[in-house]
Structure 1
C-alpha cells in the first residue's frame, strides 16, 4: 500500500533533486541555443563548415550517456559532475538546434538576401535585422521541443554522480525499500514541469509562427 507519511518525508529531498534538474536544463538549454546559432552561421563558411558538419554528425550519432561518461573521466578532478553535465548537454543539443536554425535560415526568401545586398547593408545588419528575426520565428516550436527533450534526458546524469531527481529517488527509495513510491513521484514531478512547458511552447507557436 502507498505510504503517504513516507511520501511527505522524502518529498523535500525529491524537490531538491528536481531543482537541480531544472537548473541544469535551463543553463544547458541556453548554451545550446547560443552555440547552435553560432554553429549554424559558421557552417556557411565553406571549409570551416565541412569540419563543423562532421563534428555535429559525430555528436548526434553517439549516445549522450557515453559522451557524459567520457568527458567526466577526462575532466580534471576539480570539475564537478554538474559542470560536466551542463557542458555536455549544451554541446550535445547544440548539434540539434544548429540544424533547426539552419532550416529556418534557409527558409528565408532569397529576395530578402538580395534586397540586403542591394541596399549594401553590413553583415551584422543583414543577420540581425532581416534574416534571424524571420528564421527564429519559424523554428520556435522545434526549439521548444528540444527543451522538453533535454529535461527528460537529465536523468542520464546519474552516470556521473549528479544528484538530480532520479538519483535522489533511487537513493531514498532504496534506503527504505519504497522504490514504487519513489519512481512514481519522479514521474509526477516530471509531468509538473513538462506539461506547463509544453503549454507555453504551444502558445508561443500560436503567437509568433502563425503571424
Structure 2
C-alpha cells in the first residue's frame, strides 16, 4: 500500500501492456501533429519575418500587425475559429489538419521573431558584399543571409518544437485522438486514470528528451559560419 493506494503489480503491468498499443497509435498522431505544425510554423514564420523586414511600410506594418494579433490571441480561440467558424464560409477542414494548422499559425508568430533576430545578427557587410557582386536581392537572401542566420537560431527553434509537442493535447477539443485524449478515454471506460496518464507522461518525457537531443546535435554539427549552398 502506498499513500493509501493498494497496488497489484502484476495486474497493473498487464493493464499497462494491454493499453500500450492504443497509446502508441495516439503517440503517432501526436508526432504527426507536431511535425506538421512545426513545419507550418517554420515556413509561415519565415514569410512573416521577411515581410516585417521589408523597407516599405505598406508591407512591413501589416505583417507586424498580423504577428501581434496571432501572438496575443490564445491558441484555443484560434483552434475554435478554424474548426467551427470557417465551415460557415464553406471552408471545411479535417480535425487533424485544422489542429496542425492552428499550431503552425500560432507558433509562426514566435518563429518569425526568432528568424528576425537571426537575420539581423548577420553582419551588414554581408549585404554590402552581395550588392558589390551584383547579386539580386532574392539570391542574396536565400544564398547569403539566410544560410548564415539559420545556425544561430537552431536552439530557439528547438525550444518551440518542444513547446508545440506539449501543446498538441489541446487538439483533443476538436476530437483529434492524440495521446492524452486516448488516455482519458481509456480512463473513462476503465475508471483507472493513473496508469494511462502516467504512461502518457512518460511517453511525452521520452519525446521531449529525444527532440532536445536532436536539436543539440544539429546545433553542434552545423557550421557556425553558415550553411554551404551549392
- The alignment's TM-score, normalised by the length of structure 2, stands at 0.87
Specify the alignment match of 1:95 in structure 2: 109
Task: Mark the runs of 5 or more structure 2 residues left unpaired by the alignment.
Answer: 1-6, 226-230
Whether 1:74 and 2:85 are equivalent positions in the alignment is yes
Q: Is the 8 A contact 1:138 1:209 kept in 2?
A: no
Whether 1:147 and 2:156 are equivalent positions in the alignment is no
Of the candidates 15, 36, 50, which is equivalent to residue 27 of structure 1?
Answer: 36
Measured on the aligned residues, the alpha-carbon RMSD in Å equals 1.4
Of the candidates 63, 75, 84, which is equivalent to residue 74 of structure 2?
Answer: 63
Say how many residue pairs are matched.
Answer: 211
- Tell me, in whole angstroms, the C-alpha distance in 2 between the residues paired with 1:94 and 1:78: 22
Specify the alignment match of 2:61 in structure 1: 50
Aligned to 1:79, the other structure's residue is in SS state: coil
- The alignment's TM-score, normalised by the length of structure 1, stands at 0.95
Give 1:1-211 correspondences, 5 Å limit: 1=7, 3-45=12-54, 46-76=57-87, 78-208=92-222, 210=224
Q: Is the 8 A contact 1:72 1:84 kept in 2?
A: yes
Task: Mark the runs of 5 or more structure 1 residues left unpaired by the alignment.
Answer: none
Q: Is the 8 A contact 2:48 2:67 kept in 1?
A: no
- Tell me, in whole angstroms, the C-alpha distance in 2 between the residues paired with 1:125 and 1:164: 41
- Tell me, in whole angstroms, the C-alpha distance in 1 between the residues paired with 2:51 and 2:64: 10
Q: Deviations over 1:91-144 (max 9, x none)?
A: 111111111000000011011111111221111221122100001111011111
- Tell me, in whole angstroms, the C-alpha distance in 2 between the residues paired with 1:180 and 1:26: 28
Q: Is the 8 A contact 1:16 1:165 kept in 2?
A: yes
**Alpha-carbon offset, residue 205 of structure 1:** 1.5
**Alpha-carbon offset, residue 210 of structure 1:** 4.9
**Alpha-carbon offset, residue 78 of structure 1:** 4.3
**Alpha-carbon offset, residue 86 of structure 1:** 1.0
**Alpha-carbon offset, residue 193 of structure 1:** 1.2
- Tell me, in whole angstroms, the C-alpha distance in 2 between the residues paired with 1:56 and 1:163: 29
